Amino acid sequence: WKVYFYVSPYRRTLETLRGVGRAFDARRIAGVREEPRIREQDFGNFQDREKMRVEKEIRRRYGRFFYRFPDGESAADVYDRITGFRETLRADIDIGRFQPPSPPGGPTAPEWTVRQFEGLANLDNGGTLVMQTGEGGRYSLLVHHTVDELREFGLTDEMIDDQMWQRTARPVQLGNWS
């Protein structure tokens, strides 16, 4: 058996994962994916205690599920986020999309993290990046673009290694190199 972790991008969650991950033999960890949709509910930014008290009273009268704090989200918003993630998870299981954390000579990052995404450049107006299926049937940016183009866009070496692996890997390839 192997485990695959989905983790929120929040520092506290990543630190918890490091602790939990130590409980598993590295050969038992099939992968880790940072998933922003499973973060905790955003209640907004309240520094004023009186304003927070007023908002909580409004929420009590309005209903906890649908009430959205100013600059925050409602439980219904969270439900929508998590429902979308649940469908992604179900599809990942059905098609064997899980990737290994580091196949021999291959990538070390199966998905882009929030930090990696933040390092990407904005495309020029009308600019495009094309993902095409590679030899094995997975999508990769390196089928259509060069490494230099991807570096210019902001991809790190780790992200480019992942795209190289995606170019030849099969959709159900999980790898069994333990």
Give the pLDDT confidence of 129-161 residue by residue, as tens digits: 888 888 888 788 999 899 999 999 999 998 898
Asked if residues 9 and 114 have their Cβ atoms less than 8 Å apart, the reply is yes
Name the residue ranges covered by the structural domains of the chain.
49-76, 104-178
Rg of the chain taking only CA atoms, in angstroms: 20
Length of the chain (residues): 178
Q: Which positions ≥6 away from 11 have C-beta within 8 Å?
A: none
- Which residues are within 8 A (CB) of 108 and not within 5 positions of it... i.e. 6 or more apart? 101, 102, 158, 161, 162
Predicted local distance difference test score (pLDDT) of residue 110: 44
Q: SS3 for 155?
A: coil
Say how many Å lie between the first and final Cα of the chain, rounded: 11
Rounded average pLDDT over 30-36: 87
**Mean pLDDT throughout 42-50?**
87
**What average pLDDT score do residues 86-112 get?**
61
